[in-house]
Each structure stands twice: as C-alpha cells, then as structure tokens.
Amino acid sequence: MKEFTPTSYTLRCVATGREFPDEGWSLDDPSSQVPSLVRTVYAKRRLEVGPEDHGIYKFADWLPVKRMLKGSSAPVTYKSKGLAGYLGLENLYITFNGYHPAIGARMTTCSFKETEAYSVCARAEEHTDRVLVVASAGNTARAFAKVCSDNRIPLLLSVPADNLDALWFEQPLDPCVKLICCERDGDYFDAIHLSNLALRSDRFYAEGGAKNVARRDGMATTVLSAATAIGRIPDYYFQAVGSGTGAIAAWEANMRLIEDGRFGSHLMKLMVSQNAPFVPMYNAWREDSRDMLHYDDDKARRDVEIIDAKVLSNRKPPYSIAGGLYDALKATDGEMFALTNAHARKARRLFLELEGVDIYSAAGIATASLIKAVEEGKIAKDAVVMLNITGGGELHFKEDKTLWYLKPDHVFPIDPDPEEVIAKTEALFA
C-alpha cells in the first residue's frame, strides 16, 4: 500500500464535552451518565484533499484510520443539468455513491456503505484474533464483505433471510467472511438481535453502528466531496434515512467545514426522508418528540414487508441519543418527509431519464423528497442544494457479468438459543 501517516485525533462526548484519547475502538464515553455519541476532534483543522488514487482516503485528514485499505473509491459530486432543469434549480449538485464510470464513480458494491466500510475497517487493528461483527439489512453487509474479503479481515455478517439477494459479488469472497441469518419474515432488528447474541462471546467485537466514529466520518466524506467540489457548504442536504447516521455525519462534517474557515459559516438545512409506511423517526419528529414513539413489533415487520427501501428499516435508530438525529434536525432547522413506494419509483424513473443512471429505492425516496420540497416552494431556485444519492449504478455494474452470491453458513430462528448461536458462530472461525 501507499505510504500513509494517520492524522491524530481525540474523542469528545457530545453530552458532557469531555475530551479523551481513543483507546483503539472507543464507542462511547464511559463517564457519561446519559446515552451520547462521541465525536472525533482532528488535529488538522484545515482539510487537505489527497490524490485521487487514494480513493476515500484522499479525505484521510478527517478519518480516524490507522492505514489505507486497497480498493476504495470516493463519492463523486457533479452539477446536475437534467434533474436541475426539470426542477428549475440553478445550483443542484448530486453526490453520487455507486457505479457510474461516465462520471468517475466506481463503487463496485454500488452503495455509499463503502464509505463506512473502508473507514471502519481501516480503524481496526491490522492483526487481531478477534472477529468483526456487522448486522445489516443488505447494502452494509455487501460493502463490509467486499472490503474485508479484499483485505483479509475476519468478518461475521448477520442479515435477514429475506434480504440475502442483496449479497451479490463479482467473484467469490475470501473464506474470512462468514454469514449467519435469521429465518424468513425477520427484519433488520432481528438481525441485530442475532448479532448481539454472537457478541456475548469474547471471540467477536461489535462494529458499533452509529456509535463508531469511523462509520460516521466515512459517511461524512459525501459532504466533503460536495463542499470541495462546489467550493462552499451547500444550503440544503437531501438524504433518505433508516438510522439517520448519514445525516448525523453530514451535520458533523458541516461543523468541521465551518471550523476550516474556507467553505462558509452556515449550517445546511438537513432534509431527510423515510419510506412510508415504515416511518418511526418521521412520526416522532412530527410530534416534536425526542423519544421514539411506540411501534408494535408485528406492525413494524408488516410495514417493512411493504416498503421498497428495505435498507431504511431500522426500528432502533440513533434518533434520541445526544448528538443523534433529533439534535441534528433541531440544530439545522431541518425537516423530515414521508414518501411512498410510488413516489420513489417515479423519482427513480425520472433520475434514470434525466441523469442517465439507475438508483436504488432509498435514493429514490431522497429524490422524491427533493421533488416534493420544490413543489411546496421550500427551495429557492438559486439555492445550493446537495442531493446525496446513496446508491446506484447496479445495472451498469451487472451488465455482462455472472454474479456470485454469499450463502448463509447458519440460519437461526427469530428467537434462537443464545448458547447455540455462540457455539456455531465460534466454530466458523476455529
């Protein structure tokens, strides 16, 4: 790999303000009395963008990584003509995360989850006997599987059986990647529960989700891509959310860019959306409630079955936690939308027609929310707008390819025996 000097940083608890060193995989501040995210505080307050061939690591000044892994690509931001003209917007910028060689986008898993995976895995110790555990509704698993396979990092994935068709790859994976799943009719929350059972064994360690600063700072490269391409912080940020982690990351990147001093001093308005009828965060936000509202488990599972954007189906998102999505929306005077499958499908067809590339359902929800915001007169025609396309280009990538699918090593019931889970998952890495 290329020569690389990691940037130095500390961690700061959002709730307490306490600053402390990263012990290597710190996910929270043990002294905090309330649930809280921690943030990275980088020694380099001014971002120096590295060479393009560094992939995502061209933003390494603001990534908590120990090394560069092979195979990464950075998000690509360009000024829209087609969709912008259709909407009557003069300054619509699209940050594309996926596979679209015509614009230089080469994420082969076709998802911005690569930004998380390349950051998280590069934060991990290079030589360890412990196994990283990731629970996913699909796209995250595909990204982590690719990164870990290419870089020989032991990985245990937990994915709902209904989402296994998302685990496609150009070639077979290294056997360091193993997969377990919960039986059919389970959802993302059930996959999380299954992974938590495996984590009772000291053989495994949790990726950490939104609490992992590497995950958020990896996702934040979408905003770094936009701001450095545009030359300023956007006025509006559009993204569909399942956990809200990407929007939290956008807010955090925004604050770092303000500190940098070269990109503006304003907070962009977060415009986030969910896929109806699965809208737990939208419902809480509409009630101006920091706490999530009650959501019956059976109804949640039925709602997940309905929505196209399965990746947006987190029932326990980091919404209420200090520094979470509620705080991000409040700080930025943000808004939240609820869009249906029909809205997303129409938006996806429009994006393909006007921008020349297919996008995923979640990105369709984000695009639909932008269309809705323009129709409702919420966006001035000269406003600088960032649309985060979190996944797309799968049709481009799969063209003329024979794909390989990752199959589960074990399938467990929705409420499995904990000891059986531990025994069988440990045996996978014996």
Q: How confident is the model over 240-261, as a mean pLDDT?
A: 98
User: Confidence class of residue 90 from pLDDT cuts 50, 70 and 90?
Assistant: very high
Q: Where in the chain is the domain with CATH 3.40.50.1100?
A: 76-107+215-397, 131-202+401-430
Question: How far is the CA of 177 from the CAs of 142, 143, 158, 399, in angstroms?
Answer: 11, 12, 11, 25
Q: Is the pLDDT of residue 268 over 70?
A: yes
Residues 105, 111: Cα–Cα separation, whole Å? 11
Write the single-letter amino acid at 73: S
What is the tens place of the pLDDT at every residue in 38-57? 999 999 999 999 999 999 99
Helix 418-428 with 188-198: angle, nearest 10 deg: 80
Say if pTM beats, i.e. exceeds, 0.85: yes
User: Confidence class of residue 400 from pLDDT cuts 50, 70 and 90?
Assistant: confident
Q: DSSP for 93-126?
A: EEEE-SEEGGGTEE-TT-BTHHHHHHHHHHHS-S
In words, the CATH class of domain 131-202+401-430 is alpha beta
**Eight-state DSSP code of residue 61:** G
Q: What is the pLDDT of residue 294?
A: 97
Q: What is the pLDDT of residue 2?
A: 63
Percent of the chain with pLDDT over 90: 91
Q: How confident is the model over 229-250, as a mean pLDDT?
A: 98
Outline where DSSP puts E strands in 149-207: 155-160, 168-169, 177-182, 204-206
Comparing 164-168, 169-173, 184-188, 410-414, the range with the smallest average pLDDT is 184-188
In words, the CATH class of domain 76-107+215-397 is alpha beta
Q: What is the pLDDT of residue 31?
A: 94
**Whether the Cβ atoms of residue 78 and residue 96 lie closer than 8 Å to each other:** yes
Helix 113-123 with 221-230: angle, nearest 10 deg: 110
Q: How confident is the model over 197-201, as a mean pLDDT?
A: 97
Q: Phi then psi for 336, rounded to 5 degrees?
A: -130, 140
